[in-house]
Amino acid sequence: MTSETAKYMQMLRRYLRKLPDDEIDDIVEFYSEYLADAGIDTKAEIEQELGTPRQLALKILADHSIKEEAEDQRVVSKTKIKTTWLIILTLLATPATLIIGLILLSVLIAIFAVVFSGVVVVISLAGGGIFLTAAAIFTGLSLLFTNLGTGLFYLGIGLLGLGLLLIVIPLVWGCSVWIVKACTRLVQHVYYRYIKKEAAK
CA dist 133 → 111, 125, 139 (Å): 32, 12, 10
Measured in whole angstroms, the distance separating CA 77 from the mean position of its chain's CA atoms is 6
CA distance 86 to 80: 10
SS3 content of the chain, % helix, strand, coil (to 5): 90, 0, 10
- pLDDT tier, 10 (very low <50, low <70, confident <90, very high otherwise): very high
Instruction: Name which of 94, 59, 164 is nearest 122 in CA terms.
Output: 164
Q: What is the pLDDT of residue 178?
A: 83
CA dist 72 → 39, 47, 66, 132 (Å): 39, 34, 10, 41
**179: Cβ–Cβ under 8 A, 6 or more apart, which residues?**
111, 115
CA distance 102 to 44: 27
- pLDDT tier, 9 (very low <50, low <70, confident <90, very high otherwise): very high
Q: What is the pLDDT of residue 83?
A: 74
CA distance 113 to 122: 14
Q: What is the pLDDT of residue 1?
A: 63
Task: Tell me the percentage of the chain whose pLDDT exceeds 70.
Answer: 89
| CB-CB contact of 110 with 149 (8 Å) | no
b (16+ CB within 10 A) / e for 55-75: bbbbbbbbbbbbeebeeeeeb
Q: Tell me the pLDDT tens digit for each residue of 67-108.
A: 776 655 555 556 667 777 788 887 777 777 788 888 888 888
CA distance 58 to 105: 16
pTM value surpassing 0.75: no
pLDDT at 164 over 60: yes
Q: Residue 9, class by beta-carbon neighbours within 10 Å (0-12 exposed, 13-18 middle, 19+ buried)?
A: buried
CA distance 43 to 66: 29
Q: What is the pLDDT of residue 200?
A: 46
